[in-house]
Amino acid sequence: MEDEIVQEFVIESTENLDQVAIDLVELERSPGDPALLSSIFRAMHTIKGTCGFLGYPKLEAVAHAAESLLSLLRDNEIAYSSALANALLATTDAMREILALLEATGAEGDRDYGEIISTLRALAGPQGVPAPRAAASAPPVEPPTQPASGEQASQGSYPSDAATERGAHGAEDAQPVHGEAKAAAADLNIRVDVRLLDTLMNLVGELVLARNQIIQHTESRNDPALAATSQRLNLITTDLQAGIMKTRMQPIGNVLSKFPRVVRDLAQACGKQVRLETEGRETELDKTIIEAIKDPLTHLVRNSVDHGIESPETRRSAGKNEEGRLMIRAFHEGGQVNIEIQDDGAGIDGQKVLRKALDRGLVSPDAAARMSEREILALIFLPGFSTADKVTNVSGRGVGMDVVKTNIEKIGGSIDLFTAPGEGTTFKIKIPLTLAIVPALIVTTGGDRYAIPQVNLLELVRLNSGERRGAIETISGTPTYRLRGKLLPLVDLGAELGVESSHFQDADDPRSFNIVVLQADDRQFGLVVSDVNDTEEIVVKPLGRQLQNIRHLAGATIMGDGRVALILDVIGLAHGAHVVAENSDGAAAEAHQETDTDGTVISSLLVVRVGDDRQLAVPLAQVARLEEFEPERLEQAESRQVVQYRGRILPLIDLAQFMGVPATAERSTSVPMVVARAGRRTVGLVVDAIVDIVSEAVRLQPISERSGVVGTAVVGSKVTSILDISELVQNFDQAMFENDFELEVAR
């Protein structure tokens, strides 16, 4: 690990020095340019600071002297000159020499750079340069020729070619005698724009599609030469795909490296003792997915420290070690990456979760009475849910776990939790390695082909017409198959999509069918299809606008014969067929309200702000998600504002515009949004800030004549307009919500 840190330091420092040399030359053409001076100063400051951390006193001393001189330049206390430029360039050469020695031997060498430091201090004039930390003395390096005048002076203060060559050979001589000379780390690495890698990945995807088409065409021809060429193309495409994907892969340790500081600071703020342990830091993921999981993992870690692990006094009284343990483990399994966040805290009290959900109106008493322990624990992922007794700067507003689940599902992942009272809680996350090219099972139903991501696939079962009789049972109206003694709910794909009649309508139906056993939200169900074709690598393409409101579909792909196959959304299919409970969105619709005789309404509300001081509230029962977008993600469609959201086009209503108040400047950096439901319709409400979630008795006064506002109430000591989303959608702009825009948010 230490060697990797040193190598990374050498690479970055070499790149910084390359830029410094360019900037120094440019500075001679534009003396006093503040941007150039700041760039050079930052580079030297970075190298100096890292040297101090890694323990390289010689390099730190040289960088410190250069930084101090640059500080005087930046503050206009001395003037830039050719002599000063020569000295700084000579300094960069000396620093390169030290970096070469560090890479070759791991040490700074025995040369003394006092002469260069003295030159830099002399050029500072009467202001002087603070003396650097003393380094071990050794025979002095040959000083650069002192400048005379004019052009000869400018040339003379550079190290001679012989000196430069000697410095380079000195670094090589320090390498081991046996074996070939190792190339410089900076020469073996190159920085590439991520957008270029995205372009290459898209091109490889198209190549994979072309490869599949050629292979299918070859199989229908009896041509040995074509078969050999096709096989060669297949091998090259596979290797190229693997190579491009590898360039995008990064170790998850890049994300985990920031958590020790997060845990330390948060534990101190909470008065707790927490030890963080990590496993699998070398586990690699696509860069896009690495970026997507940073925030969810950070929230889960903070949640474990704040909610999970108890105070030292509580742990001591429970017979535990005063220091809590937080483990983050990452590993590959079944073509996916598994991440576990485990603490040894108090665990989650299911009954407390249920009471909080009832108090906040997130679930009705009737629904609560029918919920299993697993479904109760899943309530923590609902919008607005929090078990915190008070709101702090760490937690308590109930806007975190829902966002965690949403962000993980956006990249095709899933999250689950397991808890044991008094022993701790484990969050288990499953995410794909990459999003662009995935292995899939191709099935046929109703004459059409569909792709099922292989990560959801468990096994295949085939039943012919004779075996079906007695094998399929109907329980509570749901067809089931007894698989190794366990009941497996079945979903007929053709009937669910409306492309053919159900296999279950007639017990004497002569058709045989296949059961594809799938996993969705840690639940298993069987998908009945007509035929199973083969497994194939598919390139995921987004759906067209006409299909984006079909929750059963996640995308499309082009098959080898050029025809399009639709990619099934396994979780959406399970929710649509009601074989897996949809707590994340559906349960929130069962909000609990009571109205007293005096008109007081006891309700859970999401409070938002528009403009500088206008407060609005949305019934929490109508809130599906809380989101935040970059301003550039908002788009126009037929003069209406929309956003691409979870694979669909979501129409937007700007509440500041609706209320007739100017939006704040805060929107220039991020746009908060409330994803709300109005029956089957979904809309994004653009606001300026999410204020709070409250559950309190409010007296509603119907003093508003504005359509979409049911009245006014005092919420949190402030007059607040209460919105009716259904009426707001009905009257704001009906054209936005016709069939093409009537979208449901997936999952």
Residue 572 pLDDT more than 50? Answer: yes
Q: Is residue 320 part of a domain?
A: yes
Report the alpha-carbon distance of residue 209 to residue 557 in Å, rounded: 9
Residue type, 360: R
**pLDDT the model gives residue 374:** 79
Mean pLDDT of 282-305: 87
Span of 56-65, 68-77, 281-290, 727-736 with lowest mean pLDDT: 727-736
Is residue 316 included in any domain, yes or no? yes
DSSP state letters, 645-689 = ETTEEEEEEEHHHHHT-PPPGGGGT-EEEEEEEETTEEEEEE-SE
Q: How confident is the model at residue 140 (pLDDT cuts 50, 70, 90)?
A: very low
Q: What is the pLDDT at residue 405?
A: 85
Structural contact between residues 348 and 417, judged by C-beta atoms closer than 8 angstroms? yes
Provide mean pLDDT across the span 198-212.
84
Kindly report which listed range (585-594, 646-655, 659-668, 723-732) carries the lowest average pLDDT score. 585-594
Q: Determine the 3-state secondary structure of 246 from DSSP.
A: helix
For the chain, the average pLDDT equals 76
User: Rounded to whole angstroms, how far apart are CA atoms 38 and 20?
Assistant: 11
Distances (CA, A) of 414 to 343, 410, 686, 716: 20, 9, 27, 36
Of 431, 449, 484, the position where a domain reaches its end is 431
Range of the domain at 319: 253-348+387-431
pLDDT tens for each residue of 71-100? 888 888 888 888 888 888 889 889 989 998
Q: Does residue 448 sit in the same domain as residue 392? A: no
409 in the same domain as 483: no
Q: Which range (9-13, 24-28, 151-155, 476-480) has the least confidence?
A: 151-155
Q: What does the pLDDT read at residue 309? A: 93
Pairing mode, strands 523-529 and 486-492: parallel
Domain shared by 180 and 203, yes or no: no
- Flag whether 354 is in a domain: no
The CATH number assigned to the domain holding 668 equals 2.40.50.180
Helix axes 57-74, 114-123, angle to 10 degrees: 10
The lowest-confidence range among 5-19, 426-440, 476-490, 583-597 is: 583-597
Domain boundary at 188, 203, 229, which? 188
Instruction: Say yes or no: 178 and 39 in one domain.
Output: yes
Note the pLDDT of residue 351: 85
User: 320-339: per-residue pLDDT in tens?
Assistant: 999 999 999 998 876 678 89
Q: CA 629, CA 666: separation in Å to the nearest integer? A: 12
Asked if residue 330 is part of any domain, the answer here is yes
CATH of the domain at 221: 1.10.287.560
Q: Strand 564-568 to strand 448-453: parallel, antiparallel, or no bridges (unpaired)?
A: parallel
* Pair 446, 404 in one domain: no
The predicted model gives 471-480 an average pLDDT of 74
Asked whether residue 175 falls in the same domain as residue 222, the answer is no
Task: Identify the burial level of 390 via C-beta atoms within 10 angstroms of its C-beta, where 0-12 means exposed, 13-18 middle and 19 or more buried.
Answer: exposed
Flag whether 719 is in a domain.
yes
Place of tokens 């059963």: 552
Same domain membership, residue 411 and residue 262: yes
Bigger pLDDT: 170 or 737?
A: 737
Cα-based distances in Å from 264 to 254, 400, 473, 500, 668: 18, 21, 55, 59, 33
The answer to the question of residue 746 being in a domain is no
Q: Is the Cβ–Cβ distance between 652 and 642 less than 8 Å?
A: yes
Q: What local confidence, expressed as pLDDT, does residue 534 receive?
A: 84
Residue 581 has pLDDT above 60, yes or no: no
Long-range pairs of 194-203 with CB within 8 A, sequence gap ≥ 24? 194/287, 197/244, 197/247, 197/248, 197/287, 200/244, 200/247, 201/244, 201/245, 201/248, 201/436, 202/436
Note whether residue 698 is domain-resident: yes
- Asked whether residue 413 falls in the same domain as residue 459, the answer is no
Listed in sequence order, the DSSP H helices in 106-193 are 114-123, 150-156, 161-173
Strand partners, 583: none
Are 417 and 432 in contact by the 8 Å Cβ rule? The answer is: no
Domain end residue (candidates: 188, 216, 242): 188
Q: Is the pLDDT of residue 741 over 50?
A: no
* CATH number, domain with residue 299: 3.30.565.10
The reply to whether 98 and 46 lie within a common domain is yes
Residue with the bigger pLDDT between 257 and 442: it is 442
The span from the CA of 69 to the CA of 116, in Å, is 12
Residue 133 reports pLDDT greater than 50: no
Do residues 313 and 424 share a domain? yes
Cβ atoms of 207 and 240 within 8 Å: the answer is yes
End-to-end CA distance of the chain: 41
Residue 521 lies in a domain: yes
**What is the distance between the alpha carbons of residues 590 and 601, in angstroms, rounded to a whole number?**
16
- Percentage above 70 pLDDT, the chain: 77
pLDDT at 281 over 90: no
Q: Tokens in use for 573?
A: 């299919």
In the predicted structure, residue 474 carries a pLDDT above the cut 80: no
Percent of the chain whose predicted confidence (pLDDT) is above 90: 9
pLDDT higher than 80, residue 433: no
Q: Does pLDDT of 170 surpass 80?
A: no
Give the separation between CA 400 and CA 389, rounded to whole angstroms.
15
**What is the tens place of the pLDDT at every residue in 367-412?**
777 777 878 888 888 876 765 554 444 444 334 688 888 888 777 7
If asked whether residues 310 and 399 sit together in one domain, one would say yes
| pLDDT for 440 | 86
Is the pLDDT at 354 greater than 60? The verdict is: yes
Confidence of residue 315 (pLDDT cuts 50, 70, 90): very high
Overall number of domains in the chain = 5
Would you tell me the crossing angle of helices 194-219 and 224-248 to the nearest 10 degrees?
160
Out of 45-54, 598-607, 660-669, 671-680, least confident range: 598-607
The CA-CA-CA angle for residues 736, 742, 746, to 5°, reads 130
Asked if 47 and 178 sit in the same domain, the reply is: yes
